[in-house]
């Protein structure tokens, strides 16, 4: 198994955190992982992106030049995501914030209203966890079993009070992935 994922959005959406937790979940399952974030100098509002590669065997380079899957959280990231996604790849779109759809016809598009789902469950900042659930469900690269334990190990003490909300967001994302068109 080899899954190369590219995450893109703007600072404050939890793009880097999403890449980290995607990686952490894979490591908990005993898989090989690389995580490579990159972002602008701004604290919030600037470009944020991350590459994650998950594999059953050793990974030669942390750079994703042709992604199997992309998670696009805002309109600005769509162009670069379209460029990096391979033919036949999977694009998860946060349709709460993306109004203009991709022009490519050789990819699968999963429309996930992540921000709206997160808002409905009580915290818009959990939209990245909605996408985590959808991505796991659609790629099968990570199974997300024992999420309570994984999140307890991942989140700092000050964030542990958000574990239940994040699990709910992941679950809602998994459900949304079943009806993504």
Rg of the chain in Å (alpha carbons): 15
| Both tokens assigned to 174 | 């998994």
pTM of the model as a whole: 0.93
Return the sign of the alpha-carbon dihedral for residues 66, 114, 48, 157.
negative
pLDDT single digits (tens) 78-103:
989 999 999 999 999 999 999 898 98
Q: In the chain, where are the structural domains located?
A: 2-178
Residues 6+ apart with CB under 8 A from 164: none
Strands 85-94 and 67-72: parallel
pLDDT single digits (tens) 106-162:
999 999 999 999 999 999 999 999 999 999 999 999 999 889 999 999 988 888 889
Say yes or no: domain 2-178 is CATH 3.40.920.10: yes
Strands 67-72 and 47-55: unpaired
């Amino acid at each position: 198994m080899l899954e190369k994922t590219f995450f893109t959005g703007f600072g404050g959406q939890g793009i880097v955190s999403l890449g980290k937790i995607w990686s952490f979940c894979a490591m908990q399952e005993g898989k090989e992982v690389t995580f490579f974030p990159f972002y602008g100098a701004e604290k919030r509002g600037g470009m944020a992106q991350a590459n994650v590669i998950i594999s059953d065997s050793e990974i030669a380079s942390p750079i994703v030049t042709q992604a199997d899957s992309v998670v696009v959280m805002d309109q600005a990231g769509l162009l670069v995501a379209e460029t990096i996604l391979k033919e036949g790849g999977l694009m998860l779109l946060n349709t709460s914030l993306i109004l203009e759809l991709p022009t490519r016809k050789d990819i699968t598009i999963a429309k996930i209203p992540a921000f709206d789902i997160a808002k409905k469950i009580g915290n818009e900042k959990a939209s990245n966890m909605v996408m985590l659930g959808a991505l796991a469900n659609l790629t099968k690269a990570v199974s997300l079993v024992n999420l309570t334990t994984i999140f307890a190990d991942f989140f700092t003490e000050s964030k542990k009070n958000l574990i239940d909300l994040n699990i709910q967001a992941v679950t809602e994302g998994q459900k949304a992935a079943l009806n993504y068109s």
